[in-house]
Chains A and B, each alone.
Chain A
Amino acid sequence: MSAVSVPFSFSRLALIASNTFLEAVRQRLFNFLLLLAVGLVASAQFFRDFNFGSSELKFIADFGFGALVFFGSALTITTTAQLFFSEIENRTALTLLAKPIWRAEFVFGKFVGVFAVIGVFCALTIGLMMALLWHREGQLMTIDPEAFASGRIVRYGDLFIVGVLQWLKFGVLSSIVLLIATFSNSNLYTVVTGFFALVICHLQYLARDSWSNVDNLMLRVLVQVLGLIFPNFQLFNLGDEIGQGAALDPLLAGRVAVYAVVYIAVIGGLAVYSFRNREI
């Protein structure tokens, strides 16, 4: 009632976001996952002896993106769920929403806060990975100058763009978890369902592939619909060729970014709609 009596305010949204951000960075989980990811990226050099298949720089890039995606996904799901439910469980949401605050401000404030936390995580991980690649590439250039006759192989600008795209993917994942949280009754349920959603979003293309040739029309339609409901997270898998000198197509990166931003807006909007129908 009070929410409709005041106009939507970005400053209130920013306040909720900054509070969410501070709460998140104070959490042990964030620090633990960040340390793990950073430690893993930093230790990539020590795993070089276990590298058989690819070039060394490719291996470091793969390793870095592996740590980013793995721990980033875990951080996104757990932080989003935890920060949302901490407000519900501590009854602070009741106090907050009793004031003239839009539920949209609350939901998007939470989202922006989590998104900022994940941004910090991505920036640190990618930054460290780039520094490591730069350092190792420099060493390799001294050892084998012929292999680097035309300069550095790794495209650091592309690495940065792929990092940003991963951040946007985590944004989509965060909005999915928020949507789940708005109708879920517990933190645990939200986290588990969030992980399932992550797996489905990563593997939905396989379902589309394997069922596209099925004769049963009903099944085919069902899989097509499921493919439409869940975003395709493999689309963000652009870091594969980095470390081998391949360039990232800016148009492709732009398309993927638009895909993520639209999904964040739509799923975020749905989370607001769902939260408005929820009794706290």
Chain B
Amino acid sequence: MTLAFFSSRSLRTGVVVVTSLVLAGLGLRVVEAPAWEVVRSRQPSLRLESVKDALGQGVTVGLLGGFRAILADLFWIRTNYVWEKYDLPATQTSIKLVTAIDPRSPYFWLNGSRMIAYDMPNWRIDKAGGYDKVPDSVKRHFDEEQSAVAIRYLNEAFGFHPDSPMIRLEIANIYLNRLKDTETAATYYRRAAEHPDAPYYAARIYAELLRKMNRNAEAYDYLKQLYPKLPKEDLQASAQTVLGRIHELEDELSLPADQRFKP
């Protein structure tokens, strides 16, 4: 009986097909493994954590079909729709879905985090009775909770944009503007400014925060090192503003004339 079963033509064919495919797969690993390593390293969106949130949401076919970008755009429009309705759970879910579908664009990460950190605390305050009725401690609590969600979300973005100065800046902004944590904000501004593609203002804000924390000598040294690197013809670099601040700090630090910065 068993022998007859195993000698059946279709089963034999099936076994041959599966065995051959396994052998082919094993043989092709030599070619596949190095190629896959490169493809994967260049496309963080191929990671399991990236797609697991998106699968089962009716977007699988789109992802497979290569419509990742357009799908994310369409879901971003949906995000804005629910955002206009102050629907917190739907907005938060939709934001995460967009970056799950297409984590390649920093735009979604940055704007999504802004909605979470800056808009959602206000929605929660409104829902709790409004600005006049909600105690400051509760407002602060909402701020802290939403900021934590936004920072966690932006930290996820580093998995796809490890060197992005804009994401560091966004985290810095949240620490500074929502959590009023100048020390941590300054650290993030400094890290962002260290990146060659960082906007010039990151370094200026870092120096200003040092001044705010009464670390004038540190700010002075930092700006002195910064100034020579700034392109003088680029308005965004604001070299004259930086020079002005260096002079202000020299006055505040009461530096003698011979020790003052000479550009």
Contacts and interface: CB of A to CB of B under 8 A. Distances in A.
A259 B72 CA distance: 31
Given A228-B25, A270-B16, A259 B68 contact: no
Interface stretch (B42-50, B206-214, B231-239): B42-50
Nearest to B108: A53
B119 interface: no
Given A62-B68, A66-B68, A274-B17, A240 B43 contact: yes
A162 to B, nearest CB: 11
B24 A263 contact: yes
A53 B21 contact: no
The number of chain A residues touching the other chain, given as a range, is 35 or more
A183 B68 CA distance: 35
Interface residues of B, number: 51
A209 B25 contact: no
Contact of A54 (B21, B29, B69, B77): B69
Nearest to B74: A50
A82 B153 CA distance: 47
A232 B67 CA distance: 19
Interface stretch (A18-26, A106-114, A198-206): A198-206
14 contacts: A47-B70, A52-B108, A58-B69, A59-B70, A210-B48, A229-B25, A231-B25, A232-B36, A238-B39, A249-B38, A252-B35, A263-B24, A277-B9, A277-B13
Interface of A: 47, 50-54, 58-59, 62-63, 65-66, 68-70, 73, 179, 183, 198-199, 202-203, 205-206, 209-210, 225, 227-232, 234-235, 237-241, 246, 249, 252, 255-256, 258-259, 262-263, 266-267, 269-270, 273-274, 277
Interface of B: 9-10, 12-14, 16-18, 20-22, 24-29, 31-32, 34-36, 38-39, 42-43, 45-48, 51-52, 60-61, 64-70, 72-74, 76-77, 102, 104-105, 107-108
Task: Please give me the 6 A-B residue pairs with the lowest Cβ-Cβ distance, nearest first.
Answer: A53-B105, A228-B25, A70-B65, A69-B66, A62-B69, A66-B67
